[in-house]
Structure 1
Amino acid sequence: MWRRFGFIRQLKLNLVKFIRLRGSPDEIAKGVALGIFIGMTPTFGLQMPIAIFFAFLLKENKLAAALGVWITNPVTAPIIYGLQYESGRLLLDLPRARLPELTFESLKAMGGEVLLPLCLGSLIFGIACGALAYALTLRAVPLFKAWKIPRWPRPRGLHIHRRKGD
């Protein structure tokens, strides 16, 4: 049965890992907030090493920071980066960038049109989402730690008996 629900099982396992994080709720919340802030930056592919590096420097929970980075993943990144670009573009009052033919020179010239609004938008989203994540995680960690998660049901008929010493 559990093989049919691999995605749900993976979510449950990640929740169990999150619950078992060591540290005070404040330390875990700061790590998650840092990870989400870094996850909102346009450094896709380098976010996890950056988050762990800054968590090490700031003496925050490294695993919580690494988990927070996953706010941007291949599914959510286009949506998040699109919203950040549009927010930054509107704040800077810039026209929407047109995609020319893909040559190195055209991409280099377009960098300021795309990168500046994206960085501004990511800074705004990073601060807002990091603060929200800190507040929510700070309140959720004590609840999660008190929550007893039942074991995943085993398939019927496959009872494995273990002996001492095996």
Structure 2
Amino acid sequence: MPRRFLQRYLPHPDALKRNRSLRVIEPLISDASLWMLSRRSVANAFMVGLFSALLPIPFQMLLAAFGAWLLRCNLPLSVGLVWITNPLTMPLIYYGNYRLGSWLLDTPAREAPERVSTRWVAEQAMDILPALTIGSLVSALIAGLLGNLIIRLIWRWHVSRNWRRRRRRRLRFRHR
């Protein structure tokens, strides 16, 4: 994974330290190990962020921040990945998690109504909750582990490609 590409899109720690609303968590933001961009820190950040994103709980960003602190991985990346489940994608993702959970529990899944509303969800909550919980945990674990593995493989591929390019350049330079 190109380090420069990630640095272009991630916020700088000094900019966040100057933000008055974030002064409460300045000790967390000041920890340099939470801002490193290494293969391990980025892969673990993807794992934490994807895991947190797929859980149907409030304060997913806090869970991702705590996970980043616990695993010493990249904080802004893990917190930013939580936004995979945003108000537009959340219904589709959580319905997929519910369908997975009902399949795993071998219970018939309820069909989504033409118009999903909070009232419908509140009425069906006790029937939906076990399947949604199991499906969300399983999909969060799978997505987190796959994200970690894929980032490590991409990073390794990128590094080996750069090494091959350097070797070819050196060989061309020697033969001139």
TM-score (norm 2): 0.60
1:97 Cα deviation after fit: 4.1
In structure 2, C-alpha distance between the alignment counterparts of 1:66 and 1:133, rounded to whole Å: 15
**CA distance 1:67–1:140, shift in 2 (3 Å):** farther
In structure 1, C-alpha distance between the alignment counterparts of 2:60 and 2:84, rounded to whole Å: 11
1:81 equivalent in alignment to 2:81 = no
1:69 Cα deviation after fit: 1.2
**CA distance 1:116–1:36, shift in 2 (3 Å):** same
In structure 1, C-alpha distance between the alignment counterparts of 2:9 and 2:68, rounded to whole Å: 18
TM-score (norm 1): 0.63
1:16 Cα deviation after fit: 2.6
CA RMSD between the two structures:
3.2
Amino acid at match of 1:133: G
- Please name the residue that 2:69 is paired with: 56
Asked if the contact 1:32/1:67 (under 8 Å) is kept, the reply is no
In structure 1, C-alpha distance between the alignment counterparts of 2:7 and 2:85, rounded to whole Å: 18
- Please name the residue that 1:68 is paired with: 81
Unaligned runs of 5+ residues in structure 2 are 13-34, 163-176
Query: Which of 106, 125, 130 in structure 1 is aligned with 2:144?
Result: 130
Query: Which of 99, 114, 128 in structure 2 is aligned with 1:114?
Result: 128
Deviations 1:110-162 (A, max 9, x none): 43311111111111111111111112222334639x99xxxxxxxxxxxxxxx
User: Is the helix fraction higher in 1 or 2?
Assistant: 2
Amino acid at match of 1:75: L
1:84 Cα deviation after fit: 0.5
Amino acid at match of 2:53: G
Deviations 1:34-72 (A, max 9, x none): 1101101001x5111111022212322211211221221
Asked if the contact 1:39/1:70 (under 8 Å) is kept, the reply is yes
Corresponding pairs, count: 129
In structure 2, C-alpha distance between the alignment counterparts of 1:58 and 1:126, rounded to whole Å: 17
Asked if the contact 1:33/1:68 (under 8 Å) is kept, the reply is no
Percent same amino acid at aligned positions? 28
1:14 Cα deviation after fit: 7.4
In structure 2, C-alpha distance between the alignment counterparts of 1:124 and 1:38, rounded to whole Å: 12
